[in-house]
Amino acid sequence: MTLVDLNAAHVATGKPPATLRSWIHRGELTRRGYDNRGRALVDLHEVEALIATKAKPVSA
């Protein structure tokens, strides 16, 4: 598990922090706590897996 704040997740994945916050709010992404500055922490591997899942085309 690699815990990073939302800005670091943005740098690593290109997804805006607002999108990541939205995913947390909707329950699609788990907040793993806060750093010493009060920033939300997420598992970078979970973020990457969620992005990959959302990128898959939906078959009709």
29 lies in a domain?
yes
Mean pLDDT by 10 residues, the chain (60 residues): 97 98 98 97 98 83
56 lies in a domain?
no
pLDDT value of position 7: 97
pLDDT value of position 57: 78
45 lies in a domain?
no
pLDDT value of position 60: 64
30 lies in a domain?
yes
> Degrees (nearest 5) of the Cα angle 26, 45, 7?
70
Q: Tell me which DSSP letter residue 17 carries.
A: H
pLDDT value of position 42: 98
Q: How many domains does the chain have?
A: 1
